[in-house]
Structure formats: structure tokens, C-alpha cells
Structure 1
């Protein structure tokens, strides 16, 4: 009897489980879920995080890799979410606080996935360039490409590192049988200890694999010793997901989901049903009290305070609220009640604790809330702000601004917006490092940026600028009007106003011993002779002298007999000294004529190449320029100036060394 009863109970439990499973499978969600997938295979989030960090600094990329290789913190990560939080925490520790707040969002957008796919394509090209490998069918997770061979094992790489090639040539036109190394790109991660001119070794692999750690330690040590140029191209080859750490393959198994793209589904239900929804069932609410903003007034009631006082009556209170929202009593609005309905709706959204959620609920349930919106007391300040915005933005148009800079909505996407936000946060972080107050930083970010981000400004009042003309004092401009109201007079588009004021300045920063610099002088003089209403000036510098100062740690070297020979070869310094001498004794016009003569003699010389400016051109231009203006021979003046230059530089060197 007991056995039969036990069998009946087992059969009943089995039937219950089967029925419950079938019912659970039949209860499928009715909502439609749409995902836009990329064509390429997924890329690891860990590698994408390294690419995002490298945008801040090339050094941070290596610090992130070193920190990940030196920690075993991902052993306790049980899910993809745990790995995402671990990667974000590890990266945020290296980033500034404003930029770190944007890092996790950029990582979830998978914005760096195309860069990792690019490395994957370069890895395929690297393998295909050596079809006769030791074992082409084997799946290698890491290898080193030196241009002439591939190394899949550290033991095979060590002899090459011990005696790498002495010369690597990337120039196809170079002669000889020198080995050609891999081609490097601007986005490559070059180790900070690498020295230019050393053989290139490119490591293909992913952080988290055992082979990457072994290759990295050997190549980093070789780079410190100045043997190789160590480059990393992060890639996780197919089939190596199981050979990496728990978080190293997260995101690599499925295709990448693309975010920031809108999808429109035009669905229409052809089955029409008549339903009576006027009756509100007791205890059933129309809206979710967990997401609805209950602090708003509904026909004189503030339900957040009522629920605080009577929490045990939540269902009844919410039913009463839904009745007020859906009741047909007084739902007929008069014409004057519709006058400020748009302003009242905007006011409720702005004052809501969750504006986006409030906007969604009003859009979806507008007929049921329109009555309460019409009875809301309108704040005049909000109305004035809305009217001000409407005067600035045409009807039917939208405006998007980031820190006062207007953005083109038609050409803007989510990734471009993220890049702009990243630039603004990085700029704010640089300002904060200068101890600038937050209020001043906001004002600086709101200023209009320069039309060219790479341009810089020079103070035109500086004494180091040698001006060719002065529109306010020179005789050639005395017939021009000096009234600034001339700016308001009509003129051809793009034409400058001929006003006797120094309104526009053009300052050229040039090396007078270069072809580009001398050609700029000819262009400047041509514009001046054609009376262009601009004040022209130049700042002259010596490229070789600056290089010598940088090589000497920012100090001017002491000049002995050997270095005096180097001074003679610095044609830029000599041209600058002669220019200043002529300017002081014969005027600025004659000084610019001297620079023009140097370029003319260079072009007329038959035995000189196009890019060379020789000492004889400088001497000849100096003699030709001042010959009509002096009584003594110009050659003697030139020799005296050369001697003065050497003595003057020696004094400067002694002064700097004393300091």
C-alpha cells in the first residue's frame, strides 16, 4: 500500500513539473526586442579598454597592461558584468576623474571595437606573409613579426634578440640588402623605452594569455637595453578564447551589438477590438508607483505626502489617483485653459525628479494627464525662457549645443558626440590641473574656440616682432581715412577695409636660412607693395641653434675653438645678426630688402641646389644691400660683425653657465 502511494505521489510531481514547464515556455514576452549586430566577430572588452586608454596617453596603455599582468584580480569574476566592472575599475584608477566617468560608457558602446578589428586584419596579413611556416595549420595565440621571420616561441626569439640585425631599412629606394622591418602606423603602440633606428619587433597577442606575458617580458627588457623597437598589436586569434584568463575573452564570442542607431518598426494590428476601460478595478493602478513621480499635483492632491502618512493604504490611494487621472469629470477644457498648456507641460517635466521618465509618461498618457496639466500654476520665469529659446530657434527646428558650441544635428551621431564630450572633459581636466576655479573653468569652456585648433597667437606688442610697416604712421597710408566707422560701409565680400589703423596683423615665424622662409619674405613684401591693409611682421629664429640648446639640456654651450667653427656654419644666426644690424643703422625697409636679396642670389646661383643657402649668398646680399649707403667697404663691416657675433655668443654662454 505504501509503495503504491509513493508511486502515485511521484507521478503527480512529475506531471506538475511538466505542466509548469510547458506553461512557463508558453508565457513568452509580448514585447519586440531589436538588436543591430555588426558584421565582424566580437572583440574582447579588455583589448578595447586598452585602446580607449591609449587615446589619453600612449604611456597609459602600457601602464594598464602592466597593471593587468601584475594582478590576478579577475579570478573572482563569475559573470560578464563582474569582468566589466573589474576592467572599468582598473582603467579608472589610471584616468582623471572627469574622463573616467565617460570611460565605462564608451566601453559599453564598443566604440573601440573597429580598432581591434583593424589589428586582427594586420595579424592575418602577418601570418599570410609567411605561408611556409613550421606548422601553418597550428593555432598560435601569440607571435612576433620582425619583417624577415615569425617567432611563435620565446625560446626561438631569444637568439634573435641577442644579436638583432644592425640596420633595418624601411625605405624602398635605399640600396643594399638590408632587411625590411614591419611597417609602423600612427596608431601602433610603441614601447616608451624603444629607441629610433633599432630593429622593429611587433608582438601580436592579447593581454591575459600566458604567451603574451612571456613575450612581453623579453621584448620589454630588450627595448630597455636599446636592442629593438617593441610594438604591440593587441589581437585574440580565433580558438584562443579558452587559453586566456576569465575576463580576457569577454565580448569575443558573439558579434558586436551596435549602439546609437535608431530602428523603426512599422507594425499595425489589423484586428480591432472594442473594450470598455471606463471601469477601474479596485486595487489595480494604471501606472507603476515605483517609476511615476508622485510629487506632482493631481487635482489638488500630492500623493507622495499621502503615501508617507498612510503607507498601508497604498493600493487604495493609487486607485484613487488613477481615477482622478482617467476620470471624465471636468475633462472638457475651455479654450483659455489651452493657452499655456505647452509651457505647463515643459514645467512639469523640468521640475520632475526624473525628467526623462516624466516626459515618457506624459507623451504616452497625455489625454489622461492633460486636465491636471492645465490647472498647474505656471512659473513666469520658465515661460520667459521658453519664449527666448523660441526666438533663437526657428519653428520646427532643433538645436544642440555643447558648452555653448552649436552642433550640427543632421551630421551628428552618438560616437561623434562622445568624442566631443571627451575633448571637453579633457580640456576641463587640464584647466583644473592649473588650479583654476570651477566657475572660471565653466566660463572658459563656454568661450568660442579658435577656427583652427592647432593655431596659436603671438602678442603683437612684443619687441621681438620686426614690423615692416605701420599703417598709422607711414606716409604711404596718409591718404586713407582713419575713422573706424568705415568698417560699417558696404564693400565687396571678403575685401578688407582701407582704414589707417593697425586693425589686422600678420606675423610670420620663419627661419631665414630655409627656402620656405625666404619665399615667405618675398610674398610678404609683395603684399606690402600692393598696399594690403595689414601690418606685416616677422619673428626670425635659428633651427640649428634651438636644436643645439635642446640637445644640451636647455643650456647654451660654451664656445671654444671647435664650437666656433659650428657658429660659422649656422647661416640662420648670421642672417639674423645682419638683419638686426641693417635695421638699426639703415632702417627696417633696407633690412627686408637684404632678406629679399638673399633669396634672389640663391635662385640666380647656377651651382647651388634648390634647397641650399650658402654663405656666399648671405655675404653677397649684405654687400649689395648696404653698398650704396656706406662710405667704408662693406666687406670690413661684415668681418667685424662676424667677430662681434662670436664674442657676443661667448658672453651669453658664460652668463648661462654662471646662472
Structure 2
């Protein structure tokens, strides 16, 4: 009775003190929708392509399952019934967890572009005016009997079919001489008839059976996109205002009132209140309008009110019923400025404060996550929120789910599975390494800071902030970008790489290029005995006699004359004689004219250290 009295008093005060128009509706909101340029694609085709990525056999099992429906899927008028039918057939191929991920993929329409791509390929093929067509080595037909005849008696002048990597080939039929591409829409009666015939021919080993989706009756509704961040900038200007509440009241009253009454507002369940007090509906509408306007008011907060605002938001989420937790968290995150006024009244329990403090210390010490940071971990793997989107998350979920399902199939339980997932299975050969560019073992080809050819460039580091075209390296007269090559001078495969870096130097790319030769460190070996040491001697001599660019050109000349075989000492001698006209024995030998480094072991130590 006390509660009933309080409600009646509130209604009475609102009726007498607040001058609120009963016909005034909820403040109009701005809703943005992002649509693709093409029409909405059938979910059955998107599901088929999803299954094709999971397992090619799943695709063909799903196609056969949908084609066996009677009546066909296309004849089901109810979209909800079509969706449930699609999921029921997909559930025969997927586990419950995989089916949940499939639902997420369908909601994002990740395979709609692929379906549209097949449609564009079909349109470029100039198909005849029929619901389903088959392409038999360049011959198009819409008739089953003619299709059977073309397969049994192929034409002698058959054309080469253009097949793509994204095409779906019937298992075991790829690379056969006779390819048949079926253009049609899965779920139609005509498609089912063609599929049964072509599947039989593929099983008999006569054709390479390929399906390409072709939706003739494209939906008039554009594909609604999701997973994108959209910024809406409202222009501040004056508009003519017109009260359209009465005009649209009849057509929107049922939908809006039902939607509004389902939501609680400030602890009041207006749907139940209207059932209890049907004679007070007008007053309840006024009271609801008053609460909406007061709750949507962006009142300024005091500085001290911000101290526990994040904790108060967490308290509001944690104390909500389990089935409402995600809904409330989403509402607070998306409407935080409006929700802040109500959050400051929330009392934070000491247990939550202690738990948050403990979690912050654990996250900071183990994961390097500070209280103001946002982190995403999937099976222990960290992902940058700013670098990954919902599509990337979906790919990760699918990959992790495949691994977990595979481990589960071989009898590994959840505890052992967690330990296995924590292992690092990355290839050691792909690990990153660092090279110390300060070491004197590196022979630099160019010097951006001191060479005159780069004098027109600015040496200011502020140039890094200047806008430039994507992918371009800024032209700054500093050795900021360094490319060091550790190569075997005798390996013929080094020639293309040396040609590439030589083009960097010739065209004044803002990169300092250095070379380290991987040669023997034996002091008893000279350039007259070992071709690798001979290449090192020739390179150093050319560097001192001319410059680094000429030395690099000499090495390339020697490799080019070798013509794919390993370089010999004779090749090096001939190149030195042609280039400098001096006695190669004086350069490659151990005489005082030798330009070899005094300590070749320093090169080996540098490479081992790197």
C-alpha cells in the first residue's frame, strides 16, 4: 500500500505542477544506416561460402542438402523460416560452437561481396534469359537434355574455360579436361535439377563441376552493413520546426508505445503500471515523459564527482541481472554522457573496490595493462583494439575454434587443452632479429648525411611530420633508414638483390645501404685461394680506389659474368684487370698492396652476434 500511495502522489504532483503536453512524444533521435552499393544477397548463398572456407566438402554437402528440399527453399515466403531452415541444415555439418560463429558471420554479411563477385562474373558472361544456365567449355545452355548431350559428346572446338582460385570445384573433379560451370541460385527448383545431373557426371569422372552463384532477381533493399565506425557531423543551422506528432501518431503509436513500455525507466515498469492502473494511462505517459527529459538532460558534473565514476559504472553493471548485464554495459558505453548523471548516485561497495584494485595490480604486473588501457585477449593472445576490427576478431575466433574442435575430437579435455593453447607454435625461422649498424664490419655504399648528391634535402627531423603520400619514405638528409645485407658473395641468387639495392643508390632513395660479406675467417687463406675472399678483396679495393657505388657495381659485374654458376678466383681476376688495369695478384694476394681487412674474424664475430 505504501508503494501504491507513493506512485499516486507522484502522479498527482506531476499532473498539478508539471505543464507537460500529453501528446508530446519522446525526443526524436538520429539514426544512421550504412548500406552497400549492391542489393542484399540471400543468406543461403552466404552460408554456403562460409562452409566452403571451413571445409570444401561442407559446401557440397550443404548444396545437396538444400537442393533436396521439397518445397524448395526459395518458395518459403517467411524470411525467419528460411533462416531457421538454413541453420538446421548447417547444424548437420557444424558443432554448436561453430554454428554460433556462423550466426555472427551471417549478421556481418562477410561473404556478401563474394556472392556479388560471382554475380558480376555471370553478368559479364552474357548468360541467356533463364533462371539457371550451364557453361560447357564456352557453350551456354539452359536445357538439361542439351547439357547432357554436350557432356557426353564434347565439341572438338571447345574453348578454354576461365577458372579462378575462388571457384568451388566438386571434390575430386578439379583439373579434368571438360569443365562445366553452373550459374544459378541455390534454393530454387531449377538449380536442384541441374545440380543433380552435374553431380552425377562429376562422380562418374566425366567433368570438372564448378558452381558460381547468380541471383537474377536482386533484392530492392540495399545490403545493410555493420562492423564499421561511422562519424556523423551535424551542421549547426536553423530549420523550420513542425509538430508532426499528430500526423504520425496513428501509424507509429502501436510500435513506439510497445517498444517504450518494454524498457524500465528509473526503476518504473510502465507496462505493468498501465495494466494495474488502466485509467491513469495519460498521467503515466506524462510521468514517463518527465523522467525521459530529466534523464536525458546533460547536467554538468562537479570535479569530485568524476573520482569514482568508472567504479560506479562497473557497480551498475555488476549488480544488474545476468541476462541484462551486456545490455546495460552497452547502454552505458554508448550513452555515457547521458548516463553519467544517474551513475554518480550509485554507491560503490568496498568489495568491488578491493577486487578492482587487485585486478589492476595483476594486469599491470603480468600483462602491462594500466587502469586506463583497454586490452583484448583471445585464448591468451593480445590484440590491439585500434588495429583489429570485428572482421579480424571473427577470423581469430574461427581459427581458434578449429584448433579447439580438432583437439576435442582426439579426446583432449578442457584442462589439457588450455595448456596446449598456451604453447608457442610459431616457427623459429620467422623470429625477428636486430643488427647493430654502428659496427665497423659493415661496408657502407652511400652516406646520406655527407654526400653532396643529397645536399638539397632538409636535415630537420621536423620533416617526419610533413604529410606525404602513403608508402613513401621521407627525404631527410640523415641516416635514419638503413638497409644491411649479409650475403654470400659466391651465391648466384645474390645478384638480383644486389641489382635492387644498386637501383636504390642510383635513384637517390633515402636509404643508407650496407653490405657484410660472409667469408672464411682463416688467416692462412688469401684471395688467390678462396673466391669469397677474392670478392671481399676486390670490393674493398674498389671502395678505396673509387667509391662504394663502384664497388657494388664491380661485384654485380662479377656475378653477371658467372652466368648462374659459382664465382671462381679467375672471374674475379678478369674483372679487376678489366676495371682497373692492375695486377690482380697484388690485390688478391698477401702482399702489402692487399686491401683485405686485417682481422676477418671480426666479420664472423659480427654475424654470430647479430
TM-score computed with the length of structure 2 as normaliser: 0.53
The equivalent of 2:325 in structure 1 is 355
Q: For the residues of structure 2 that align with 1:494 and 1:199, how far apart are their CA atoms? A: 62
Give, in whole Å, the separation in 1 of the partners of 2:392 and 2:66.
29
Instruction: State which of 378, 381, 386 in structure 1 corresponds to 2:355.
Output: 381
TM-aligned CA distance change 1:529 to 1:269, over 3 Å: same
1:273-299 CA-to-partner distances (Å, cap 9, x unmatched) read: xxxxxxxxxxxxxx98965599xxx9x
Matches within 5 A, 1:583-622: none
Identify which of 444, 447, 452 aligns with 2:420. Answer: 444
Q: CA deviation at 1:437?
A: 0.9
| Mapped pair 1:215 → 2:194 | yes
What is the match of residue 140 of structure 1? 130
Please give the residue correspondences for 1:361-376 in structure 2 after superposition, counting only pairs within 5 Å: 361=332, 363=336, 364-373=338-347
Q: Using the alignment, how far apart are the partners of 2:438 and 2:376 within structure 1?
A: 30
**Separation in 2 of the partners of 1:290 and 1:388?**
40
Q: 1:150 to 1:398 in 2, by over 3 A?
A: same
Query: After superposition, what is the alpha-carbon deviation per residue over 1:331-352, rounded to whole angstroms, capped at 9, x for unaligned?
Result: 9999988654433432432343
Structure 1 residue 404, shift from structure 2 partner: 1.9
| C-alpha displacement of 1:356 | 3.4
- Among 14, 30, 43, the alignment partner of 1:45 is 43
Residue 262 in structure 1 maps to residue 217 in structure 2:
no
Pairwise CA RMSD of aligned residues? 4.8
Q: Which residue of 1 aligns with 2:185?
A: 206
Partner of 1:187: 166
Moved more, 442-451 or 427-436: 442-451
- Cα deviations by residue, 1:505-542 (Å, 9 ceiling, x for unpaired): xxxxxxxxxx99xxxxxxxxx979669xxxxxxxxxxx
Q: Deviations over 1:548-595 (max 9, x none)?
A: xxxxxxxxxxxxxxxxxxxxxxxxxxxxxxxxxxxxxxxxxxxxxxxx
CA 1:156–1:337 in structure 2 vs 1: closer, same or farther (change >3 Å)? closer
Cα distance in 2 for partners of 1:150, 1:494 equals 67
1:229 offset after TM fit, Å?
A: 1.0
- Between the aligned partners of 2:435 and 2:115, the Cα distance in structure 1 is 54
In structure 2, distance between residues paired with 1:455 and 1:142: 48
Instruction: Check 1:79–1:209 CA distance in 2 against 1; reply closer, same or farther (3 A cut).
Output: closer
Verify the 8 A CA contact 1:119 1:235 in the aligned structure 2.
yes
Shift of 1:313: 10
Alpha-carbon distance change, 190 to 439 in structure 1, aligned in 2, over 3 angstroms: same
- Give the superposition deviation at 1:425: 1.4
CA gap of 1:405–1:160, structure 2 versus 1, over 3 A, is same
Q: Output the CA distance in 1 between the equivalents of 2:301 and 2:26.
A: 42
CA distance in 1, matches of 2:27, 2:81: 27
Q: Which residue of 2 aligns with 1:35?
A: 33
Please give the secondary structure, in 1, of the residue aligned with 2:130: coil
Residues 105 and 339 of structure 1, relative CA distance in 2, 3 Å threshold = closer
Give 3-state SS (helix, strand or coil) of 2:346's partner: helix
Matches within 5 A, 1:294-313: none
Deviations 1:159-181 (A, max 9, x none): 22112368xxxxxxxxxxx7443
CA spacing shift, 1:334–1:375, aligned 2, 3 Å: farther
Task: Name the CA distance, whole Å, in 1 between partners of 2:148 and 2:302.
Answer: 88
- For the 8 Å contact 2:118–2:213, the answer to whether it is kept is yes
- Normalising by structure 1, we get a TM-score of 0.49
Cα contact 2:133–2:140 (8 A) shared by 1: yes
Residue of structure 2 in register with 1:345 after alignment: 313
Q: Could you tell me which residue of structure 2 aligns to residue 492 of structure 1?
A: 436
SS at match of 1:144: strand
Aligned to 1:153: 143
Greater CA deviation, 73-82 or 380-389? Answer: 73-82
Residues in 2 aligned to 1:69 and 1:46: alpha-carbon distance in whole angstroms: 11
Q: How far is the alpha carbon of 1:226 from its aligned partner? A: 1.5
Matched residues in 2 for 1:493 and 1:51: separation? 49
**Correspondence list, 1:205-284, <5 A:** 205-237=184-216, 241=217, 252-267=219-234
Q: Structure 1 residues 390 and 209 mapped into 2: Cα distance closer, same or farther (>3 Å)?
A: same
Cα distance in 1 for residues equivalent to 2:186 and 2:301: 66
Aligned match of 2:597: none
Contact 2:134 2:183 in 1 (8 A): yes
| 1:390–1:51 CA distance, 2 compared to 1 (3 A) | same
CA distance in 1 between counterparts of 2:61 and 2:315 reads 48
Instruction: Report the secondary structure of 2:411's partner residue.
Output: coil
Q: Note if 1:122 corresponds to 2:121.
A: yes
In structure 2, C-alpha distance between the alignment counterparts of 1:432 and 1:293, rounded to whole Å: 46
Residue pair 1:333, 1:371 contacting (<8 A) in 2 also:
no
Structure 1 contact 405–448 (Cα < 8 Å) conserved: no
Shift of 1:493: 7.5
What do the CA deviations read for 1:40-94 (whole angstroms, capped 9, x no partner)? 2332222111111111111111111111111226488442122122212221221
Matching of residues 52-201 of structure 1 within 5 Å: 52-72=50-70, 74=73, 77-127=76-126, 139-164=129-154, 179-194=158-173, 196-201=175-180
Query: 2: CA distance between counterparts of 1:180 and 1:75?
Result: 34
8 A Cα contact 2:67 2:188, kept in partner? no
CA distance in 1, matches of 2:260, 2:120: 50
Cα offset for 1:491?
A: 8.6
Q: For residues 446-465 of structure 1, what are the structure 2 equivalents within 5 Å?
A: 446-450=422-426
Kindly state the Cα deviation for residue 100 of structure 1 after the two structures are TM-superposed: 0.8
Which residue in 2 is equivalent to 1:413?
389
Q: Which residue is 1:485 aligned to? A: none
Count residues with an aligned counterpart.
Answer: 385
